[in-house]
Amino acid sequence: MRAVPLLIALCACAAEPGAGTGAETPAGARPVTPPEVAVRPYDLHVPGGYDGSRPFPLVVLLHGYGASGTLQEAYFNLTRVADSAGFLCATPDGTLDSTGKRFWNATDACCDFAGTGVDDVAYVRAIIDDVSQRYSVDPKRVYLVGHSNGGFLSHRLACELSGRIAAIVSLAGAQASDVGRCQPAQPVAVLQVHGDLDSVIRYGGGRLGTKSYPSASDTVAAWAMLNGCDAVPTDAGVLNVEPNIPGDETRVERHGGCRAGGAAELWTIRGGAHIPWLVPGWGGLVWGFLAAHPKP
pLDDT in tens, 221-262: 999 999 999 999 999 999 999 999 999 999 999 999 999 999
The vertex-113 CA angle with 107 and 114, nearest 5°, equals: 125
pLDDT at 158 over 50: yes
Question: Phi/psi of residue 231, each to 5°?
Answer: -70, -30
Half-sphere CA count of 20, side-chain side, radius 13 A:
21
Note the pLDDT tens digit of each residue in 54-72.
999 999 999 999 999 999 9
Distance CA 189, CA 87 (A): 18
Residue closest to 296 by CA, chosen among 220, 192, 186: 186
**Looking at the predicted structure, is the pLDDT value of residue 191 above 60?**
yes
Rounded distance between C-alpha atoms, residue 161 and residue 261, angstroms: 14
- Residues 194-217 have pLDDT tens digits of 999 999 999 999 999 899 999 999
Domains of the chain, first to last: 2-291 (3.40.50.1820)
Average pLDDT, integer, range 104-116: 96
CA distance 123 to 288: 26
Q: Which residue has the higher pLDDT, 140 or 31?
A: 140
Find out whether 260 and 188 touch, Cβ atoms under 8 Å: no
CA–CA distances in Å: residue 254 to residues 171, 172, 173, 227, 228: 16, 17, 18, 13, 13
If one compares 140 and 30, the residue with the highest pLDDT of the two is 140
* Res 33: pLDDT: 58
pLDDT exceeds cutoff 50 at 13:
no
**CA 64 vs CA 95, 152, 161: distances in Å:** 12, 9, 20
Average pLDDT taken over every residue of the chain: 89
DSSP 208: E
* Mean pLDDT, range 3-26, rounded to an integer: 32
Whole-prediction pTM value? 0.89
Average pLDDT over residues 114-122: 95
